A and B are shown apart, each in its own frame.
Chain A
Amino acid sequence: MTPVLETRAITRDYQIGGLLGGRSLLHAVKGATLKVEKGKTLAIVGESGSGKSTLARILTLIDPPTSGELLIEGEAIDIAHHGVSKALRRKVQMVFQNPYGSLNPRQKIGDVLAEPLLINTDMKAAERADKAMAMLIKVGLGPEHFNRYPHMFSGGQRQRIAIARALMLNPSLLVLDEPISALDLSVQAQILNLLADLQDEFGLTYVFISHDLSVVRYIADDVMVMYLGEVVEQGTREAVFADPQHAYTQALFAATPRADVATIKARLARRAAQAAM
C-alpha cells in the first residue's frame, strides 16, 4: 500500500543575517526521511530548535524544502515550482499548539468551520452550514455553540474547534503541532481520546509533534527523535521506548519527571539522609 506521507532526505536551510552583518546559513532540518502508512500515527519528538516545527511546515506545504523529496499519497510534491493546488491543500491539514492564537476572535465558530469549504469548494452556503454543524457535533460540541465567538470557549473547547476546522475538508493527513501542551491534564486526556476516535472513524493519518514523552508513548505507532535539525532516532514506539539508542534520546527519557511510587520513595529517602547530615 502506498504510504500517505513519505519524505526522502528532506533538508531546509534558512539564510540569517545579511544587509550589514555577515550572512550565514542555518541548517534547520538536516535530511529527514520518514514514511507514515494510512491510519497510523508518527510522533516527532524534540525540543525548541530541533527543527520539528520547520519539518511540520514542510509537511503541511507551507514552506518548500531546500532539497529532498516529499510525497503525499505517492505523488511527488514540489510547491517551490508548481505551487499548491486546491486538491492538494484538501489532503493535508494542520492543528496548532495555541488554540487562542489560531482562531479569529471576530469570527463566529460556524463561520470558522465553514471557511475552508468556502475557499476550497463550490458548495452552497446552506450545505456549508450543515457540514459545519455536523462537524461541530462530531468533535463533542453542541448546536448552541454554532453562533458563539472564540472567547466564549475554554482552551479545550477551542482546540476541539481547531481540530474540527482541520477536518472540514476530509483530509487524509493531519499534522498536529503540540496540540495538547497548552491544555490542562484532564482536558489533554479528552483531546487525546477525541483524536483516537476521529482517527478510527475517518482512517486519518497523524503526524504528532510533541515534547511530552508520556503522551507520545500513549498515542504513537512510530517515533522519530530530532535534535539540532538531525534525526537522531527513528523506530517503532516499542523499540524506541524499550531501548533508546542515541544519547540524546536517553537524556530526554532521564529528564522526564516520573510519577511512580518507587521514584518518590527513593527521593524522599535521599532527602531524609541529606537532612540528617
Chain B
Amino acid sequence: MPLLEIKNLTVSFDTSAGLFHAVQGIDLSVDAREVLAIVGESGSGKSVEMLAVMGLLPRSATVTADRMLFDGKDLLNMAPADKRRIIGKDIAMIFQEPVASLNPCFTIGFQLEETLRFHLGLDKPARRKRAVELLEQVGIRDPEQRLGAYPHQMSGGQCQRVMIAMAIACNPKLLIADEPTTALDVTVQKQILELLMGLQERNGMALIMITHNIGVVAETADRVIVQYRGHKMEESDVLTLFTAPTSPYTRALLAALPDNATGDRLPTVGDFREAVTS
C-alpha cells in the first residue's frame, strides 16, 4: 500500500475572471522511503497539489478528488481536529523562502519547541534536549546558543536548516519539500540536498521534492512526475526520464537545458508547442 495515494485530484480557484483550474485530474502516489520529484514550470500546479494535501490552500480554492489517502486514512473527509494531528507531525513541509517561513519575532528555539509541545506534548527540559538534538542533526554549530537566535541573525542556508529541523521534529513519515534550494547559492544548495537525502535515508522518510531544476531531480529522485498546466505529462523512474522520456514536453524541457545545447540556439518549449499541446 502506498503511503500517500491520490486519485483524480482537481483544484480550482474562484477568480474574478471565472474558475481557474490549477490542477486537472492528477493521480499520484508515494511509497514509504521513496523519493518522488514533481517537476514543472510555474503554473504547472505542482505546489498547489501539495498545498491541497496539507490543507493550506485559501478559501477561494475548491479541492476535489476521488481518493486522498495517507497511511490508510482519508484526508478528504477527516475532521479538521484529526487532520491537525497529522499535518506537521506525520506529514511535514518545507518551503522555498526559508527566511520568510520563519516568524521574525520569535527565537528559533521557541519555534522549534512549539512543534514538539503541540504534537508530542513534551515537557520543557525534554523539548529543549530534543531541539538541541535536532539542530545538531541538521548541522548547525553551537546548537545550545543558536536556540536563542532570531531568524534575521542567521543566513539563508542556516534558516533552511532550521526549517528542516522543525519539519523532521516529530519524525514525519512524509516530508514535502517545495523548491527547498531555489533561493540558495549553489554550494549551499549542495549542502542542503545532501542533508535532506541523508535524513531521508537515515529516518526512512518518504520525500516529495517539488522543483523546476532538472539537475536537482537528477541528484535526488527515484521516480519523477512531470507536469504542465495542471496535467501530468509523464511519470517515469529517474533513469528512464533522462534516457528515454516518453512525452514531448519532457523532451522539450531536457533540450532547453543549456548543458545539452548543441547548436547556436537553445531549443525552447515553443519549438515543441505542437507536439506538447496535441
Which A residues fall within an 8 A CB radius of B?
47-48, 155, 184-190, 192-193, 196, 211-215, 217-219, 251-252, 254-261, 263-265, 267-268, 271, 274
Contacts and interface: CB of A to CB of B under 8 A. Distances in A.
A218 B258 contact: yes
Contact of A186 (B193, B215, B253): B253
A257 B187 CA distance: 10
Given A189-B267, A190-B270, A259 B217 contact: yes
A96 B119 CA distance: 44
Contacts of A48: 156, 185
Closest 5 A/B residue pairs (Cβ): A257-B215, A47-B185, A218-B258, A186-B269, A184-B41
Contacts of A261: 239, 242-243
A188 B194 CA distance: 27
A256 B186 contact: yes
For the residues of A in contact with B, the DSSP-based class is: helix
A265 B237 CA distance: 12
B42 A184 contact: yes
B185 A211 contact: yes
Contact of A217 (B193, B239, B258): B258
Contacts of A214: 215, 257-259
Interface in B43-61: none
Contact of B242 (A155, A186, A254, A264): A264
Given A47-B186, A188-B258, 12 more contacts: A186-B252, A211-B185, A218-B261, A258-B218, A258-B219, A259-B215, A259-B218, A259-B259, A261-B239, A263-B219, A264-B242, A268-B239
Interface string B178-213: 000000011111100100000001000000000011
B214 A259 contact: yes
A185 B25 CA distance: 24
Interface of B: 41-42, 156, 185-190, 193, 201, 212-219, 222, 238-239, 242-243, 252-254, 256-259, 261, 264-270
B185 A190 contact: no
Contact of A257 (B219, B258, B266, B267): B219
Contacts of A188: 256, 258
A271 B267 CA distance: 33
Given A218-B266, A252-B186, A185 B41 contact: yes
A268 B238 CA distance: 9
Contact of A196 (B257, B264, B267): B264
27 contacts: A47-B186, A184-B41, A184-B212, A185-B41, A186-B252, A186-B253, A189-B269, A192-B266, A193-B266, A196-B264, A211-B185, A213-B186, A214-B215, A214-B258, A217-B259, A218-B258, A255-B187, A257-B189, A257-B190, A258-B219, A259-B214, A259-B217, A260-B259, A264-B238, A264-B239, A267-B219, A268-B238
Contacts of A263: 218-219
A255 B254 CA distance: 20
Contacts of B188: 47
A155 B214 CA distance: 20
A238 B258 CA distance: 15
A256 B187 CA distance: 7
Contacts of B190: 254-255, 257
Contacts of B256: 185-186, 188-189
A155 B193 CA distance: 27
A193 B261 CA distance: 11
Contact of A264 (B156, B193, B218): B218
Nearest to B39: A185
A260 B242 CA distance: 8
